[in-house]
Amino acid sequence: MLPRTPSFRLDGRRALVTGAGRGLGAATAAALAQAGAHVTLCARSCDEIEEIADAIRNEGGVADTLTLDVTNVTDVQKALSERSAFHILVNNAGTNRPKPFVEVSSDDFDAVIDLNLKAAFFVAQTVARGMMNARQGGSIIHMSSQMGHVGGQNRTIYCASKAGIEGLSKAMAIDLAPHNIRVNTVGPTFIETPMTKPFLSDPAFQSTVLSKIKLGRLGRVEDVMGAVVFLASDAAALITGAALLVDGGWTAD
């Protein structure tokens, strides 16, 4: 008999998505729910995640919400330890403060690193402990960026945070492999989201971006949805410590 392709379905699995109120987070939550997962949408803004959760439920999916500031480590540990273990984590919450290197303030640095790297670390640590205690394995996916692999003008803190995520992911993959917990990153190029809209509305900036994306277009949230479902599913059962770049060829040079 021919071998069978492993399933991309996520039925019966519980997923947590941070920064789930808009953009890539909302799309990721929808993608996981459409693949059959029970999705918990997490963000600081209650109204946004409730709206997305309602939309998922209206489509027949299963979703609930968790209003939480993921930069507060104590609150993260308390809130997540009170819930059943997750099978999937998408560490998506993030921010950016583009400035020339010499103009970056201590406040800018702390804001970006605290959310993009420190919060991701401790959310993942708490979720991983739950996975280990439940002895069920799991998939942890960090939303990284092509900027974790290349430099970018006015993006020193952002690049530092995403390069940190790439290193963290590889080290986590080694530590957690004995527990059958896989850890990978997804690295999108510029995706049309509320966070990127202010930059991409500048025609000169958008032209520069498009000149570096070999496929000749900006990314859409749909381009990332499949990558996340793949890494969460049994189809990626032997993939850990890897970076899946969804960058249209930006980093191919």
Return the active site residues. 158
Distances 190 to 51, 93, 144, 203, 206 between C-alpha atoms, Å: 25, 16, 12, 14, 9
In terms of Cα–Cα distance, which of 60, 31, 23, 54 is closest to 15?
A: 31
Nearest-10 crossing angle of helices 156-176, 106-113: 30
Residue 18: DSSP 8-state: E
The residues near 224 (Cβ < 8 Å, ≥ 6 apart) are: 24, 27, 28, 186, 188, 191, 246
Alpha helix locations (H) across the chain? 23-34, 46-58, 73-81, 106-113, 120-134, 156-176, 197-200, 203-212, 221-232
Please check whether residue 182 is in contact with residue 138, taking contact to mean a CB–CB distance below 8 angstroms. Answer: yes
The full length of the chain comes to: 253
How many CA atoms does the CB half-sphere of 70 hold within 13 Å?
Answer: 33
C-alpha–C-alpha distance, residues 178 and 233, integer Å:
18
C-alpha–C-alpha distance, residues 121 and 113, integer Å:
11
3-class SS of residue 38: strand
